[in-house]
Amino acid sequence: MLKQNRHLTASATNAHEVTRHNDPRLGPYPSSLNFYTVPPPYELTLMEFETYALDRLRVLKAVETAFLRAKKPDAVDRFIQTAHDEHMHLNRNVRINGVGAAKLYQERRKDHISHFILRLAYCRTPDLRRWLVKQETALFMYRFRQEEKAERTRFIQDLNLDMPVVSNAERASVATELRFTHGWSRERLENTTFYRVPFENVLRLVARQKVFVKHGWAYVPERDQPVLIANAFRSQLTAALEATAKAVPRMDEDDRLIPVLSSIAKQYLSNTYAPATEGHKDRVKHNEVDGLVGHFPPCMRNLHSALRRDAHLKHVARLQFGLFLKGIGMPLEEALIFWRTAFHRMTDDQFTKGYAYNVRYNYGLEGKRTNYTPYSCIKIITSNQPGPTDNHGCPFKEFSKNDLKLLMKSYGVEETAMTDIAKLTKDGHYQVACTRLYEATRGNAHRLANASLEKSKAEANAPLVQTVEHPNQWFDMSRISAAQSQPSRTKPKNLTPAAK
């Protein structure tokens, strides 16, 4: 992997060695911050390769969630911190004597390597690239904020970015404009360094009228330097990823890596569902499904009601719903009965010929005999785009605004949460919207059930539940918290809290 990448970096190989502030024990990592201009020259075991990548992926996902869910900047940082410290802990230079240089080196090496693995895994499509750039930039900026001022300054100096400092004479020539734009005293103006960049580099500042522009140049004060750094990081990584994408076909020499890489990339697309608790291993009988609908997430409720209405479901819908039922604990025998009775307008013969095969297929008894797992949200959302007469898919994505509202009403969602959900849906954050729905309707039960978790979560300022990744996760959470928050009931599967 590393060999093939060398051409991307041409001249920069020794960039880190020439920095002035090198503690030799830190090797190529004088700072906790890294622009990743040089690929890591190490031999790796496949094992390392995979765990590093997955750890980084966990952090990036936390970053993504943090920005979608936390409202205030410091809440975002606390949210990221939890995942960051767990999976990708990075000590700052001040800790060099506390924890030892070797530790710092190891952490930074892992950071470095894992970044480059994800580059390889996420360079293939524009969508993946965009996702990676966005999260990596946010992660970098998070670390940038955590770092000390002196370290930041040193890091920026070493980067040598192309952003000329405005001379004193030039600053004086636009002093009035700058002072009014920022509301500054003369003294403050004279003590501020400005950088002159094309206005296209600081669009957000331009849009917010927070920067003075003249003849196409934006005069960016040093306090907004992070914006410039973020933009530099972003455009640098975007370019590098595009270059990697072009180079990747040549990687075939090392065919051990291909499966690993594509499975990493799929982590973004499919979360395989692992049952949350042992308790869930209850068998669900064919006649218990209607009683459990209250715990179904919207996509499954939708399929269930379509099935009851039409006494039929089309192929993809059957797969989506059937595997979900399998996931909640319905064994094959029950599934065969369930589907047979559900398709009640059909003769036995029709059913056996056309559909029983399908059901057995889901359970790995036909065809390739794979034990298929239930579909994750991402899979439901991104694959098999439903046509006009289909019922499968994720309602947050497929429903019109009004229909979604009706659906939310059927869950008993209140107005404020409804607005939240509508907004998230509109912006394409379907799973986050679904999570909001869960919190709004099951939050209390969930809180009660997880009372012990409460304290630690409150401290980390984490949200109540992690983003919904899987319909079965939704079901499990709903069912378990309903059962545990009402201990008087003994048979959890009979609880139907919000079914209306």
Partner 1 sequence: MPNESDLLATLSVNTEKEGESDGENGAKRSAAGSLGGASKRLRTINGAHETDSEVMQGSLAPPAPEQVMKTISVSDEQFLTLLRIFYQKLFPFADFYRWLGYGNIDNAYFAKREWSFTLASDVYIRFQSFASAEDLKHEILRMCPVKIDIGAVYNLQPKDKKTVLPGAFTARERELVFDIDMTDYDDVRTCCSAAEICLKCWDFMTVAIKILDRALRDDFGFQHLLWVYSGRRGVHCWVSDERARKLSVEARASIVQFLSVVVSDSTSKSNSGNRNNYHVAHDDGSDDDFVHAMAEDSADERDANRQTMEPTSDEDDDDEDEEDEYRTKKERLDNDDSDDEHRRRKKPRRPNQRELGEGPPAVFHASLRRAYQKVLHKHFTKTVLHEMDSLGTRERWTKVLAFVPDIELRSRMDAQWKNNLESSPEEVMSSIDRWKMLVKEMRRSRQCGNAMRDIIFRYLYPRLDANVSIGLNHLLKSPFCVHPKTGRVCVPIDPQKCAEFNPLTVPTLEGVVGALNVANRRPENDVRDEDEEDFERTALKPYMEHFRIFLKQIAESTKTRLRLEQEANAKQQQMRRQAEKENRRDLTF
Residues 28-67 that bind partner 1 (CB under 8 A): 67
Under DSSP, the state recorded for 165 is B
Mask 172-191, x = binds partner 1 (CB under 8 A)? --xxxxxxxxxxxxxxx---
Map the footprint of partner 1 across residues 259-288, applying CB under 8 A: 270, 272
Under DSSP, the state recorded for 375 is P
Could you say which of 158, 224, 439, 469 contacts partner 1 (CB under 8 A)?
224
Give the pairing of strands 217-221 and 212-214: antiparallel
Map the footprint of ligand SF4 across residues 471-490, applying CB under 6 A: 471, 474
234 vs 285 by CB, closer to partner 1: 234
Map the footprint of partner 1 across residues 467-486, applying CB under 8 A: none
Could you say which of 150, 406, 451, 453 contacts partner 1 (CB under 8 A)?
406
Mask 194-213, x = binds partner 1 (CB under 8 A)? -----xx--xxxxxxxx-xx
By CB under 6 A, tell whether 322 contacts ligand SF4: no
By CB under 6 A, tell whether 413 contacts ligand SF4: no
By CB under 6 A, tell whether 319 contacts ligand SF4: no
| Binding piece for partner 1, criterion CB under 8 A, among 102-110, 250-258, 362-370, 471-479 | 362-370
Q: Could you tell me how far CA 457 lies from the centroid of its own chain?
A: 19
Min CB(397)–ligand SF4 separation in Å: 7
Q: Is 123 annotated as a binding residue?
A: no
Residue 124: name its binding partner from ligand SF4, partner 1, none (Cβ under 5 to 8 Å by kind).
none
Q: Is 394 annotated as a binding residue?
A: yes
By CB under 8 A, tell whether 377 contacts partner 1: no
By CB under 8 A, tell whether 234 contacts partner 1: yes
* Four-residue CA torsion sign, 193, 198, 199, 201: negative
Could you say which of 14, 347, 400, 452 contacts partner 1 (CB under 8 A)?
400
Tally of residues, the chain? 500
The answer to whether 131 touches 234, Cβ cutoff 8 Å, is: no
Residue 301: name its binding partner from partner 1, ligand SF4, none (Cβ under 5 to 8 Å by kind).
partner 1
Nearest Cα to 340, choosing from 317, 359, 366, 364? 359
By CB under 8 A, tell whether 161 contacts partner 1: no
How far CA 45 is from CA of 1, 48, 255, 363, in Å, comes to: 12, 5, 14, 35
Residue 249: name its binding partner from partner 1, ligand SF4, none (Cβ under 5 to 8 Å by kind).
none
Tell me the residue type at 225: Q
| Joined tokens for residue 51 | 């765990």
By CB under 8 A, tell whether 96 contacts partner 1: no
Tell me the residue type at 164: P
101 vs 468 by CB, closer to ligand SF4: 468
Residue 250: name its binding partner from partner 1, ligand SF4, none (Cβ under 5 to 8 Å by kind).
none
Min CB(251)–partner 1 separation in Å: 22
Where are the strands (E) in 57-105, listed by range?
none
By CB under 6 A, tell whether 122 contacts ligand SF4: no
Q: CA-to-CA distance for 240 and 115, rounded, in angstroms?
A: 12
Map the footprint of partner 1 across residues 287-316, applying CB under 8 A: 301-303, 305-306, 309-312, 314-316
User: In 3-state terms, what secondary structure has residue 468?
Assistant: coil
By CB under 6 A, tell whether 298 contacts ligand SF4: yes
User: In 3-state terms, what secondary structure has residue 494?
Assistant: helix
Could you say which of 118, 163, 227, 264 contacts partner 1 (CB under 8 A)?
227
Nearest Cα to 220, choosing from 293, 291, 158, 171? 171
Return the bridge partners of 219, or none. 196, 212
By CB under 6 A, tell whether 498 contacts ligand SF4: no
Determine how many CB atoms are found less than 10 A away from the CB of residue 109: 16
The answer to whether 474 touches 438, Cβ cutoff 8 Å, is: yes
Instruction: Please return the burial class of 184, using the count of CB atoms within 10 Å of its CB with bins 0-12, 13-18 and 19+.
Output: middle
Name the strand (E) or helix (H) holding 197.
strand 194-198
Spell out the residues 6+ positions from residue 45 whose beta carbon is closer than 8 angstroms to its own.
none
By CB under 8 A, tell whether 388 contacts partner 1: yes
Residues forming contacts to ligand SF4 in the complex (CB under 6 A) are 297-299, 377, 380, 394-396, 430-431, 434, 468, 471, 474
Annotated binding site for [4Fe-4S] cluster: 299, 377, 394, 434
